[in-house]
Amino acid sequence: MPKRTILPSGTVLTPCKSWDEFIQELRPTAAKGYGQRIFRGHADPDWKLSSTWERKLNRYGYPTRSATYRSRIEYESHRDRPLNQFKHMARTMPDMPPIAPNEDNDWWALGRHYGLETPLLDWSRSPFIAAFWAFVERMEFERRYNDLTWTLGNLHSDKHVVVWELVYDRELARGSSERIKVFSEGEFDLIDNARYDLHRQRAQQGVFTRLEHDGHTDVEEYLSSKDIVGTLERYEIPCSNMQELSAPLSDLERMNIHYGTVFPDPQGAALQVNMEPDWRFFRNEGSFGAPSTGYLLPRDH
């Protein structure tokens, strides 16, 4: 079993030697009776736990939120402008859910599912759905930088992928009446009660977090500043060759986790169909690519 370490930030690091070892690590986690947990997958281990809006702040040098009134007003103006534009354009579209004009988090959640840059960070209650996003985004990266005559050799990137686990509202110790609560209203919020029927969010077991802090735009840094140790865990899974990429994707597809199920709509169906030539190669079912090593079995077996 992997040796857990505590990083200087207070995050628990769990380096897994393989995809199978990651699955084994989830079993005792799922058996824990205390605390609630959400998961997020990253294709690149260098990515921060920051929303698309927070990354945009850092990328373009927009004013960050701070304690001064003027800077906060400027920050909120930059943040809310795209939301207001999205509301204006989306309200008149067919099949729009009935969202009240002042329910900003619901509008942000709807926009996030369709690619809007928002201050919401996506999570899932399923570690396997989180892992799907980590591996499929790595696969998309490889598709951009390699042709489809891949072998079972090294990928363009030799980095591992990461699945984050955030435990919140947990007992200080098993059976203890004392609890550690991660979320703080208006500063670090959990958003899981959208007032409309969002089929993608249900399919992905999705929730969001929203960090609105004067000094931090990254969840890991924020939790570290609060000295909440052991709440955040980082699982690192090898992904430096085709075998380490194909095995998880093949397993996840057999769990019925793929584009067609996490996006249960025509866009998801199209993405899945577009990926099928690559998908057959991952399972060694196609007439091209490397011969089977015996590790992955064709669908017919």
Indicate the burial class of 87 (C-beta count within 10 angstroms; 0-12, 13-18, 19 or more): middle
Please report the pLDDT score of residue 162 as a whole number: 97
Q: What is the mean pLDDT of residues 210-218?
A: 87
User: Which two structure tokens, joined as six digits, stand for 83?
Assistant: 């939301």
Q: What is the mean pLDDT of residues 151-163?
A: 74
User: Which two structure tokens, joined as six digits, stand for 127?
Assistant: 């570690």
Q: What is the mean pLDDT of residues 197-207?
A: 81
Q: What is the mean pLDDT of residues 254-261?
A: 91
Q: 3 or 292: whose pLDDT is higher?
A: 3
- Most confident of the ranges 87-101, 191-205, 239-253, 276-290: 239-253
106-149 tens-digit pLDDT: 888 888 888 899 999 999 999 999 999 999 999 888 777 665 44
43-76 tens-digit pLDDT: 999 999 999 988 887 777 666 666 565 667 778 8
Q: What is the mean pLDDT of residues 242-253?
A: 88
